Structure 1
Amino acid sequence: MNYPSRQRPCALAALIRPPLWLANSLATAGLLLLGLLLLNLLNSVSAMASADSPLRLNPDWPGSGTMQLFNDAGEVAPPKLTTQVDMQINGWTNRVTVTQSYTNASEQWLHGRYLFPLPENAAVDSLNMQIGERVIEGQIQPKQRAKQMFEQAKAQGKQASLLSQQRPNLFTAEVANLGPGQTIKVQFSYQQQVEYREGALSVRFPMTYTPRYVPQDYADVDDAADIMGDFSYDPAPVTAATDNGSVSINLDLRAGVPLATATSPSHPLTKLADDGDQQQFKFANMVADRDFIFSWQPANGSAPQAALFSQQGQTHPLAETGTQAAAPQDYSLLMLMPPQSKPEQPMPRDLVLVVDTSGSMSGASMQQAKEAVRFALTSLRPQDSFNVLAFSSDVSALAPQSLPATASNIGRAQQFVAQLQANGGTEMGRALDAALPSNYQVPQGVLRQVIFMTDGAVGNEKQLFNFIHQRLGDSRLFTVGIGSAPNAYFMKRAAQAGRGTFTYIGYGEDVSTKTVALLEKIAAPVVTDVQLRFADGTVPDYWPAQIPDLYLGEPVVVSIKQARGRHSSLTISGNVAGQFWQQQLTLTPELRDSGLDLLWARGQIGALELAQDDSNRDRTEQQVTALAMKYHLVSQYTSLVAVDVTPVNPNAPDTPQAEIASKMPAGWQPPGNMPQTASNSRLLLLLGALMLLLGGALCWLSRHPKQQRCVS
């Protein structure tokens, strides 16, 4: 039969006569997938809707130098912000003074609050605020008392300031009654211990903060209060804007030894002066979107050995008068160096690599973590075993149990790592549960080492520390900080609780060198069960109370307090590969320093906070408060407050406030507008839509085959 060209049947359409049941099945399956996706998204939205609660996801957690100025109408009048940091590095200590200047460009009085991260080991001990010609000095007070003093001054129109700790590495400062056109300078100082590893020394100054995730089932109300502190409003948002102020750093380095190198891997620097072992540097107008890192390396033959630094008396003498003077005390900082030998026959190891694939790891952080895992896999030896775990809202594993380190299994692991994507929440407890199974016995003669690669963007740190302590057994936990602004407080404390070490990888070029260095270090013999005692057998008052294992190229620094002149020598002992080891040190100080009492007290406070639970909460609060008051330190239970006596703002009760945002961490990508879940939401959406479209098309073809025509 001949048809007109426009009516010629299509040969392919004539052959297609799909059964109706197949079309209906595909359409139904597509609808089911889309329904599952909708339910999943509704659950995610429900979880995020409760993000205002401190027990939930806080996607807008504040970062460095966030000034909070707000009013009831929500109108924003952000001040201009600049930050000046002055570092005085002397041997093994770093004295840091931070001056943040805010200019009120509005025509009304303002109250304000700002938030900023500091190093997790910072001992904050002084505060002053300069408003015009007025300089207001801060005094240490119990936290509630300090808050009452500040609020009373605020209501009376007096200029006042308050500095408080929200987390060990997150602080808030408040200012009351800032006048129109005024510039306020808030200056605080802290003492910090210098880091040393692989022959180089370094300091780090955090300038922004990665948003944190708190599991929905985390029910420690007191710890949640620590997370949010006294905030009664939403935290300041993280933003990509670049006009929220700049940071400049002046650094005076007095290393005490000739230097081979001095540089910053994070920021460009300008050398101002070079006088042998004393150098001065300047870092100007830096964008506050990443941690500042400065490192220096002694010249060959000048690498530090076991050393002792000491100080007589306290930095802040006791304010009380008329009381009997306490016995004079000496404070010391002792550096313990491990043996420098490498193993002749390395022990077999079971290496567990744990990778954070949560939404906060999006972007450069995810790529760095993947590359670090690939380097770790190439280090495996035939006698080793291994496994790879990935976690976000759930945990996925390469295998149920550790696998032999064969070429085939390593290839499987490489493919497993290649397909990892950042998505979902940071449910680190589930990952720790998988990496540190209960009642697991490490085989005799095997080193079981767990390496966590994460940005540490979690808010339930205390819960995780307790879990590590309970589950560790004979395993060792090492943490690798990924990204431009990791939660170093969590990373270091987790490694300490896991009797391992912390490594920071902030930049792509660091991945290979730092991963290789970590793997070489943990393959070397370690000194375990380290103990300190005086010659007469008594035990000194030192922190950390449980000294971590000593690893090749990474000393442990211990803070010690003792009665002045009572002991002249100290014995360090431990086990190396099952053999007893000890070393005798003289207590005659090689170098004298200052602020060592602050480091000792900060370490003691940190140990008390780490051991706090429901059974000792009240006693711990009393002990921490007493220590912080004695040494003039900001802590969980104490704050620095400064109040001027003269009222200056007659309309203080009606004074508004506003806020500015913090800079988003460099390389960090927010999860996006679609709620991030543990499921492959994008894949579900695509498959569901395709199946629904295909089912609809087949259904139409099965009912209307004769209507298909071809156009010539």
Structure 2
Amino acid sequence: MSDLRTRLWIAALAALVLLPPMPAHAQAHRARGRALASNIIVPQSRSFAVDRRRRAEITGVKVGVVILEQTATTTMEISLRNPTNARLEAELLVPVPEGAAVRSFGFSGAGKEPTAELLPKEEAIAMYKSIVAKLKDPALLEFAGCNLIRSSVFPLEPRGRQKIRLTYEHLLDSDGDRIDYVLPRTESIDYKVPWEVSVRITSKKPISTVYSPSHEIEFHHVNEKVVRVRIARDAMTEPGPLRLSYLQESKQGVTASLFAYPDPKIGGGYFLLLAGVPSKAARPGDVGEPAVKREVTIVIDRSGSMSGEKLKQAKAAALQVVEGLFGGEAFNIIDYSNSISSFAAAPVIKDKKSMAEARHYIRRLTSAGGTNIHDTLIEA
């Protein structure tokens, strides 16, 4: 019997010696399996805590984005506050686009400098599910398609404030001359933390236009290849991810990109056309530049429903459009109710005579009758 035991011990020892060392990714997976901190900070959503009476607060988020061609570098500065009289332990979870890489991570305050690791989509989903199971809160599942950056645990001192700074990089999607940027953020209307977002876009080609289908933005061209963008003040608390697209000018000058959304239920669908004029579109009269002259047709509803202030504003807007044209550009005015009328049989060239006639035509418009928009659009 003792000989059998000896042989078994020798076999077991040999098996241990022959086992290969644990691969690095398995060790990393074990490290990622550490217990969650008492406070989980998700700047795109909110802070989560096992004990809600000891929850840290997110007071603000500043985001600076630098886009160079198709590479985006995103820096987030998250401001935190500990409203309790106890020291809190927290960790940061940041949903990021697939393919993102951590460039730097740090915080202001005493204590050991925290670290950050990037979890791929599959591990991110597992992390979200574990938090949902622990806190009975499904809010994080909306980020299930993103990768995840997870920090080490850091302290939040009683009644103290803390700033966390994270920078990550990723490659942007493109479709022809259109390049798209997405900054993940919750769809919840209850999340009211203001986000200050500024973007600097630099391209080797001239930038035709910048557009956001999700938030109101303000932008200006530093030059034909550099544009600065920021979220408008009224949109800083708007829910949902920030989606930003810009068009690079094509060789043909005018650039366009089509977003299509087929809907089989109606046998058709919807589309959004994003177009931009050449960055150097010359004003008529510019010396040495080919003029891109405009032709504008203005359609005014003068039906009975437009009576009073509505028609007054429409007439003022029409006059502003016509007066904003340069000499040599063409315009026409079509107005309708039950019947359809027009300023001219075809667009006319703007000059002193046509402008005087247009002002008189617009001033005499009055509201009455129904709305024949079908024939009006055909006429236009």
TMscore range, shorter length? 0.3 to 0.5
Kindly indicate whether structure 1 or structure 2 has the higher relative contact order, using CA contacts under 8 Å at least 6 residues apart: 1
Higher strand share: 2
